[in-house]
Amino acid sequence: MKIDGVWGGGRPSAYKNMPPHTVAGGSSPVGHNQAYIDGHVDWVRWKDMYFFHSWNPGARKGFWYQKDLGEIANESQLWRLKGPVAASL
């Protein structure tokens, strides 16, 4: 999560070492392991993750991956939710 504009910010007891997979020498994410209901796991690149929801978008941003976006898969609007774009806002 990006908290108060900082990766791994906020309370150390809750957010220390987040995200766990970071770029060498930095704090921004490179991706994460995505677990599926059938039990398999895939690596998902940071640039393919989306910002869908936050209980406080000005201070906390969590990012997820969704393979099938269904009706919201409108590329003209979806680009704003992509991880690197949404994290910079």
What does residue 59 show for φ and ψ, rounded to 5 degrees? -120, -30
What's residue 42's pLDDT? 93
Could you state, in order of their start, the residue ranges of all structural domains in the chain? 2-88
Among the listed residues 56, 55, 48, the one whose alpha carbon sits nearest the alpha carbon of residue 79: 48
Torsion of CA 19, 22, 68, 34, to 10 degrees: -70
pLDDT tens by residue, 8-58: 888 888 888 888 899 888 888 899 998 888 999 999 998 888 887 778 877
Distance of CA 2 to the CA centre of its chain: 8
- Categorize the per-residue pLDDT at 63 as very low, low, confident or very high, splitting at 50, 70 and 90: confident
- The tokens for 83 are 């991880």
Could you say which DSSP state residue 4 is in? T
pTM over 0.75: no
Strand partners, 47: none
Residue 75 has pLDDT above 70, yes or no: no
